[in-house]
Amino acid sequence: MKARLRGRLFWKILFGFWLTFIMVSQLLWLGFQFYGRNHEPPEHKVARRIVDIQMASAVSVLQRGGLAALNDMMADWQPDDKRFFSVMQVDNLPQETPQPSVMSFDRAATLPDEVVEWVTVADGTHYRLRYDVKGLRNDNDINGGPHPHILNIPMPMFFIAGVGGLLFSLILAWNLTRPMRQLSQGFSRISAGDLEVRLYPDMRGRHDELSVVAKDFDAMVERLSALINSREALLHDISHELRSPLARLQLATGLARQLPDNVEGSLDRIDEEARRLDKMIGEILTLSRAGYDSQPEERYFDLLGLVEAVTDDVRYEAQVPGVEIVLTCDQPADYTVRGNAELIRRAVENVLRNALRFSQQGEQVDVSLRHDTDWLVISVRDRGPGVDSDKLSSIFDPFVRVNSPLMGKGYGLGLSIVRKIVLAHHGEVQAINHKQGGLVLIIRLPHWTASQ
């Protein structure tokens, strides 16, 4: 627990909020002090009202009915109401007799010790009516002397509010710094190579922005783990794929040394394997470069014109195997796309060449381009054997090849390049088996409009 409370931020939040609480209490006290200068305190109002009512009624009854009527009225008073009130008969009035008034002390000043009224009844008898305001004040603790206080706050309130404010600051500081410590520990574990750390399961109960940060943290770790695993798998697959042509190169050089008469055939074999290695390395580089999210030389281009150009090129090659390439599209329509036209061209070309590879003489490859709300959809269907349903999602992985006599001599990188390029352009790619046979590859790219 002590180790957790060593962070500077914890103490800053703790004492910051606690001192803020103290400052607010002082500002409130100053506000009440300034407000009370020109306004009567509420306890003064209560005392003045009590004195005014009792003195006014006593004066009125005494003037009209005499002392007997006043005693009868006072008999109905509560003991607490009449113990501070007294009536005394006097021989003479003072030389300066104040006018009877129920407003006998200043509202904005402190309460006086007593209020006195002089009354002369009809028979000429003089009476002195006195109200012991000091007794009333002490009995009800109205300005009854100074109270112990700290920083202008009464001591009981200071201790209760101070301890409560400190406890509130402690809970708040702990609640804010704990997830930050968890994030710090999580980043430390990631820097040490531990990609199994997850924070959201422990922080999901917060239901605030910090739990969202924890969720994003877990998504980041999962993405890093997937990238590292894919890189390791790619390196493993590359090393595995390079062994075969290198082994054949070594075999060709060995045969050339052992059989001098067959040097020409060995050199042809070496040239063939070198071309395969060059092709493989080129596809690997393309696969690596296609994964960037922001492509260089990004511009706007017409997707329909690009698809038509690629279709014409592949249609020219399809004359040898006798395969027909048919292109259909929604016309007239706008097919503007933002991105790298050369990369998109390579992706479409790889899909068409893949369909051509799995097509036999007399078959047809259907290419379509259409609108789908905010997307432009390219669909390529062949009449080949298709792909097992459990392998559809894996044909876009590097070096994955379908076992088929129509496969040819590819390295399983073409569709991986397609997926990298499409994802880099914020699109989607999908493979499904057609109900009537053959494989359908679907590319979805965002349609750019002028409003964007």
Strands of the sheet with 375-381, listed across from one edge: 324-329, 364-372, 375-381, 439-446, 428-433
Cβ atoms of 361 and 332 within 8 Å: the answer is: no
Axis crossing angle, helix 155-191 with helix 209-258, rounded to the nearest 10 = 10
| Domain range summary for the chain, segments of one domain joined by + | 3-39+148-178, 42-139, 209-289, 299-446
Residue 221 burial (C-beta neighbours within 10 Å; 0-12, 13-18, 19+): buried
User: Rounded to whole angstroms, what are the CA distances from 145 to 138, 139, 140, 156, 346?
Assistant: 9, 12, 12, 17, 93
What is the CATH architecture of 299-446? 2-Layer Sandwich (3.30)
Q: Which CATH class is domain 209-289?
A: mainly alpha
Residue 237 host element (H or E): helix 209-258
| Residues contacting residue 123 through CB under 8 Å, at least 6 positions apart | 66
Per-10-residue mean pLDDT of the chain, 452 residues long, equals 54 75 73 63 72 84 82 80 80 60 47 79 82 73 54 66 74 79 86 86 80 88 80 69 75 81 81 78 69 59 91 87 89 84 87 87 91 90 83 72 49 75 87 88 87 62
| Structure-token pair, residue 258 | 């052992």
How many whole angstroms separate alpha carbon 204 and alpha carbon 206? 5
Instruction: Classify the phi-psi angles of 449: left when phi > 0, otherwise alpha if psi is within -120 to 50, otherwise beta.
Output: beta
- What is the pTM assigned to this prediction? 0.47
Catalytic site positions: 240
Residue-level pLDDT at 108? 44
Terminal Cα-to-Cα distance of the chain (whole angstroms):
53
Chain-centre distance for alpha carbon 169: 24
Alpha-carbon dihedral sign for residues 50, 51, 52, 58: positive
| Structure-token pair, residue 23 | 């400052």
How many whole angstroms separate alpha carbon 61 and alpha carbon 67? 8
